[in-house]
Structure 1
Amino acid sequence: MRALLQRVSEAQVRVDGELIGQCGPGLMILVCAMRGDTEASAEQLAAKVSKCRIFQDDLGKMNRSVLDIGGSALVVSQFTLSADTRSGNRPGFSTAAAPEDGDRLYTHFAQALQGLGVPVETGRFGADMKVSLVNDGPVTIWMEV
C-alpha cells in the first residue's frame, strides 16, 4: 500500500458540495492499495503512520507522532498514487488494486488507524471528491509498505 501524508492544521473532503469528512490538527492521508496488497499490508501501513514522528516537540524538532499530539486524520482513497510515469506522457495505473480490493483495503486501513487510537474521518471511495487542506509546514511524507 502507498500513502501520502500531509501534516495539516485542518482538512476537509466534500462530495457534491456536502462535507463528508474533516480533521483538525493532524494528518491528511491519501491512500492507494496496490495489486497484491492484503489486510496485513493495510495494518502495517496504519501502524507506521500512527508512529511517524513529523510533529514538532517543545524544541521545534519533528519528534512527535499524530498520537503524541492527540491529532486526528482525514483518510481519502486516491488510486492515482499508483501512477507509472516511466514512459510516455500518460500515466498508467495497472499496478493499482482492483476497485473492490481497493475499497476493502482503504476501509481496512482507516479502521486499523482508528483502532490504534487516531480519530479518523474518511472520504468516499470512487467518488469525485473535492479536498481542501491547510498544509502545516509544509510537511509531506511518502510511505509504502
Structure 2
Amino acid sequence: MIRWVLAFLLGAQMVAADVVTPTRTLRPGTLITVQDLTIRDGAHDGAFDRITDVAGQEARVALYAGRPIAFDAIGPPAIVNRNQIVPLSFRTSGLSITTEGRAMERGGVGDRIRIMNLQSRATLFGLVQADGTIKVTQ
C-alpha cells in the first residue's frame, strides 16, 4: 500500500504484475511441475506470468529459486537425446528418403537439431517430430 502512495506522490507510474518463479533451484533438463512454481509480485519483461504456461515444460538452463522464468529459459520436454539413433525422413517433390541417423543434440517436439546420417556421415539439420523421428530440413 505504501509503495502505491509513494508512486502517486512522486508521479511515477508503477505497474503491478505477477511473475512465475521456481520454489527451488532447477537444473537444466528438469521437467517442471506445478509444485516447483509459485507466483510473486513484480514486473519483469520477457518472463512468464501464468503457472500453466510453465508447468510440464523442461528447464533449458538453470532456474534459480525466486527469480523470474524467462521465455527462452524453458521449452518442450526433450524426446530425443544426444547420441540417440533416430529415424530420419526427407520428402520433397514426390521423393521420399528414410534412413537412420545419430542425434548430435537433445531436442523436444519442434526443435531444430543437428543430426548425422549414419550412411554418408554427413551432418544435417532436422525438426523433431512428435513420434521421435527427425524431418530433415537441410
Instruction: State the TM-score, normalized to the length of structure 1.
Output: 0.19
* RCO comparison, higher one (Cα < 8 Å, 6+): 1
Bigger radius of gyration, 1 or 2? 2
Instruction: State the TM-score, normalized to the length of structure 2.
Output: 0.19
